[in-house]
Structure formats: structure tokens, C-alpha cells
Structure 1
Amino acid sequence: MSSDPWETLRAATRARVGLGRAGDGLTTAENLRLAAAHAQARDAVHAPLDVDAVVGALGERAGPVVVSQVADRTEYLQRPDLGRRLASDHGLEAGTWDLALVVADGLSATAVHEHAAAMVDVLLPRLEGWAVAPVVVARQARVALGDEIAEALGARMVLVLIGERPGMSAPDSLGAYLTFDARPGRVDSERNCVSNIRPPDGLTYDAAAEVLVSLMTEAFRLQLTGVRLKDTGAALPSAAG
């Protein structure tokens, strides 16, 4: 049996617990692990989106590739407002769609590379009967860029799969942001979010898809998203006994 009383808890979580001490500070090993995690998070923020790889993974489901009004990654980090606005030459054409689906780099292209296509694979079969536009891939994008994309496509609702801000234990977390009647000027309180999609350490694709489909179905019934649309948790897995 281990003499470390924290070992059982550390085995059950990726949170940093019971790190130990060397004098008044952390041990050298823990300091090195923290530095490596910080470097991973920084790399995820600055890594460029591999558009060809994402489009290739999406296959025939892939639609147009668009970019925000951001010129480069430095401007993206300094001017969030420009990341919410489409470049004027976006080339999107209006149609009649129930849902616009957007895959966006956000603050972690790493998350998009690892999880976006697989999430689309699991989600789309659950949307049989829905008019879903070809998946738009967006570079230098913030969540609200989806509002302009939906308006340009003529979609009633938009779902943005986007790389979330990396944490020290999660550089590859994918978020899904849902907005009904999406258009420029929508605010965060008018959206619903399913966060931390990153199996095996976060939400699985199946669990995320069940929650999203439940929210989208209710969004159409109520004609809204945001704080008035509640996730009852019925689609979430039960806690282990």
C-alpha cells in the first residue's frame, strides 16, 4: 500500500491535489509539470487552425471556409470585437436552413483538430429531418461570428463548435454554443453552452450530442435560447454508484 494518502484522490481527477512541498514551495517535479502545462495552454492559444485538415476530416459535410475581420493571431487576441465580425468577402449564400453548424478555432485550434469532426459525426445522425447547412469552417473566430454566419445563410439557429480558452489541465476543450434566431447584436445571455467536450477526460461526444439535441428541440418549441431555456439534465449520464 502506498504511503501517500493523496494517491487515491489524484487517481480520480486531473485536478492538482496533494502536490507536496519542498520547503515553502512546490517540489521540482511539480514545478516542471506546471511549466509544461502552461506551455501547452499557450501553444493551444497561438496554434493556427489547420483548415485543410479540418475540411478533410469533415469530408462531404464541409461547406465554405470563412474568416473574421482579424488580420492575424496577435490582433485576434487584442481585438475580440473583430473576431465577431465576418470579412466582407465571405461568399456565403442565403438558403432556407433550420441550423447553421460552424466549426471555429476560437482560443484552441488544438481542441478543434482533436474533437470537432468527431463531434459532428456523432451529432448529425441525430438531426435527421432537420435542414442543416453544410458545415462552415471559421478562422480567427469568436462565438458571435456564428450570428453573422447564420444571418448570411438564412438559418434559424446556429451551433458553433469552438475551441475554448485553455486551462492548465485542459488545452483541448471544445465548447458548443447554441443561438436561436441568430443575428448580429445577440448577447451571451441569449445563448446556451455545452462545455468541456473532450473525451476521455471531459464530456463524451454522445453525451454532448444528447444534450444539444434536447436543447435544440426545445429551442424550436419555445422560439428562444439562453437563460430562459433550461437544460434539465435528463440527457446527462447518471453518477457512478
Structure 2
Amino acid sequence: MNDPWFTLKRFTQARIGRGHSGCATPTSAQLEFQLAHAMARDAVHQPWQLESFAEAITAKGWQPLLLSTPISDRRQYLLRPDLGRCLDHASRQCLQTQQASDIDVALIISNGLSSTAIDSHGLALLESVMAAYASCSLNVGPVCLVPNARVALADEIGGLLNARLSVIIVGERPGLSAADSLGVYLTYLPRIGNSDAERNCLSNIRPPQGLSCEAAATKLAYLSTQAIQRGMSGVALKDDMPVNWLETTVPI
């Protein structure tokens, strides 16, 4: 095989080397594109299976806390990103009555822009994150499950729980090569008004093609401990994690 694209395609899921049939796209490439586009749309529009996810968390022995934004449906979620950055009144009152104390990490999970990602990898990533945090003795508050949330919602939740850190696991915007990718955002001293420059992000968490859950959780635990020790996160906190920082570390 002399086609250089054939070799390159083995190392990426990007849409390269599609070929041509005359002046048109080959039928197989066109069908693959249509399938990827349909999967991306489904990831955005399908609802999150919240009840079954909460039951799975409870079965693991963790405390889920179901919260809501003012968003009523997925269409409104896409049109009104501002509403996805705040809790509704009932959820705010719920957190204000929580007897939370000495919480290192306020942990939030949302389907975000890909319900497919949360349904596919959310529970596995949560298990890895909880294990990594236990290894470095960080206290995690209730696992807050919030459908239709944006990243900045973690600021309000972390502030209400008086947590040192907020961490949100969220479905990332799907593309034509990945509709099931998770992202994790970490913020030190979360408060309403934090900027994106104050967050650290881990993205493309989607085994086996992307970052593994174990590798992501190890990296998150390291950044979390460093954020607390140094009193900072975001652009001020650099990723200089030693290769074998935890025994659970895997190659990244």
C-alpha cells in the first residue's frame, strides 16, 4: 500500500484520507459521515438516564444528591446557556440546608452536551475518581447529579457547600469523530463569578480511544492536592505530575 493516508489513518479518528469517486465523496465515506453526524445529534438531544445513574451510585455506597437548573428541556439548554450556569430555587435551598463541613471536593456530574458520554463512561470515571481521592485522603461531599448544567454551575455548588475545590464531570460537545467524550473541570475556592482562566480541564476521557478513566482520575487527584497546597488553580497551576505519583498511575 503506497497511499500515505492509509498509514496515518491508523493513528487518528480524524476524518482524513476519505478519498473520492470522480468529483464526489465515495459512498462508504458519505455513509460514515452521516452516521457520525446522527450520533453527535443523538448525544446532544437525548435525555440523561438520571434515575438509573443515581441508583447505580447508591448501590456503590455513595450519597447522590439530585439537583436542578431552571432548564426545562434540551432545546432550552442549547438556547439559554446562562440558565445552565445556575441552580433553581429549590436546589439552592436544598444545598443551603446541607450540614456540610470540612469538604475538600464538591463533586458534580452532568450530562452537559453529551448524554451519551455520561451514560457510557460516567460511572466508571466516578469510581476511578473516588478511588484516587481516597488514596490521597481528600474528603468528597455528596455526589451532586445535575442534568442540563454548564461548567460554571460548579462555582455556585462549591460555594454553597463551602468546599475547597469544585470538580464537575460533564459530557463534552460531540464532534464527528467522538460523541462520547467526558471532560472534568477543577476550580479552587469556587464562588459565583470565577472565570474560565481559574479552572483546570481534563478532556477527551473516553476509553479505549481517548484518555482512560484511571489516568484521568490520577491526574485529577494530583491537580486537586496541588491546588489545595498552593492555593490556586487554572492557568497558575501547571501540570508537572511525576510519572508514578500514585500507585494507580498508568501511562498517559
Determine the structure 1 residue equivalent to 2:21. 22
Say whether residues 1:103 and 2:70 are aligned partners: no
CA distance in 2, matches of 1:125, 1:85: 29
Root mean square deviation, CA, Å: 1.7
Contact 1:103 1:138 in 2 (8 A): yes
CA distance in 2, matches of 1:16, 1:54: 33
Once the two structures are superposed, the pairs formed by residues 162-173 of structure 1 within 5 Å of their partners are 162-173=170-181
Equivalent of residue 146 in structure 2, options 122, 138, 146: 138
1:238 & 1:57 partners in 2: Cα distance? Answer: 29
More divergent stretch after superposition (30-39 vs 121-130): 121-130
Aligned mates of 1:72, 1:3 — CA distance in 2: 51
CA distance in 2 between partners of 1:54 and 1:110 (Å): 13
CA drift of 1:233 comes to: 5.3
Deviation (angstroms), 1:7: 2.7
Between 1:219-228 and 1:50-59, the stretch displaced more is 50-59
* Equivalent position of 1:34 in the other structure: 33
SS of corresponding position for 1:177: strand
Tell whether the 8 Å contact from 1:62 to 1:137 is kept in structure 2 after alignment: no
Shift of 1:178: 0.2
Shift of 1:56: 2.0
1:57 Cα deviation from its structure 2 partner? 2.3
Residue of structure 1 in register with 2:64 after alignment: 63
Q: How far is 1:4 from its partner?
A: 4.9
- Give, in angstroms, the shift of residue 3 of structure 1: 6.2
Structure 1: stretches of 5+ with no match in the other structure: none
Q: Secondary structure of 1:133's partner?
A: strand
1:7 aligns with 6
Q: Equivalent residues in 2 for 1:92-131 (5 A)?
A: 92=95, 93-96=98-101, 97-128=103-134, 129-131=137-139
CA contact (8 A) 2:222 2:241 kept: no
Q: What is the identity, as a one-letter code, of the residue corresponding to 2:56?
A: A
Q: Verify the 8 A CA contact 1:163 1:175 in the aligned structure 2.
A: yes
Query: Is the 8 Å Cα contact of residues 104 and 163 (structure 1) preserved in structure 2?
Result: yes
SS of the residue corresponding to residue 195 of structure 1 reads strand
Aligned length: 238
Is residue 181–residue 205 contact of structure 2 (8 Å, CA) maintained in 1? yes
Instruction: Note the residue ranges of structure 2 that are not aligned, 5 or more in a row.
Output: 244-248
Counterpart CA distance in 2 for 1:100 and 1:217 is 14
Give 2:161's aligned amino acid.
Answer: L
TM-score by length of 1: 0.93
Measure, in 1, the Cα distance between the counterparts of 2:4 and 2:199. Answer: 43
Tell whether 2:160 aligns with 1:152: yes
CA distance in 2, matches of 1:104, 1:74: 16
- Dislocated runs of 4+, deviation >6 Å: none
Partner residue of 1:85? Answer: 86
Establish whether residue 52 from structure 1 lines up as the match of residue 60 from structure 2.
Answer: no
Q: Percent identity?
A: 42
